[in-house]
Structure 1
């Protein structure tokens, strides 16, 4: 069985290729539409587009669906470990913080190394700081099912309590 860490690396590589394709297409469009007048080259556009597209890709997908294309292909999901949102999809603030190091290669490598030195073998330091965790989708689904069961139990108990109150009030009349 492949470890979560290895799955995360493979997912990041898949996402990197997707982001690279988006960046390259965007740079070509900018070059042919806007930049001939300014004198910038495609490679100069890449320096500007890389952090913008990378952050937008990771933040939007992790906030909206709890996963990126690469993570989804490997059945991984990002969840919050914050007390208020435990095992729920992450809000924008957490998504931005955890993805700051994904702008270029060097920061993500440093983030992984520091995370492994000070935390678990599966965590990045910014993921820990943002109070997020990458888990298998199966675990996330089980957690959601468990929450649904708890909600149903509470609703059933509330209905039973209400019925008992109604019956006792009928008896009093």
Structure 2
């Protein structure tokens, strides 16, 4: 397994960079019945039949959310288009090549990433569970995994790991970190 301590937290949106993560439409024409069902599973049932955004506005919105959250926190309920960036259904599997559920698969990847983190940071966190995972599909996959781990005092912390899986290549653990907290706003006097 290839592992890297490189800190590539920023989402690269330059289409000429091989590490680029930009959500693109899966299909702009009429969606198939299977794609409509998938979209309904991703965002839930559409209450209002009129679109909130144009296709291009949706693409801008999803890419803004990807950049802002570095791929980890995207509100898929806002979209009526299918993109190559989507959430995992943890109790299923996204690949016919993998014989485990996504929860098991991403749990294994999170444990490996956490082991790298523990070694690098000289800590001893233990993996607890996967909270969620987002997938970016483009010449392989990039996984954005959010998971829970506990320290030696059984206090839980939320972590994020970015893992690249280029088809027919090794898996690379790009980074693992504690989930960044929201910065407190300072009061102006």
Range class of TM-score, shorter chain: under 0.3
Q: TM-score, normalised by structure 1?
A: 0.28
Q: TM-score, normalised by structure 2?
A: 0.26
* Structure number with larger C-alpha Rg: 1
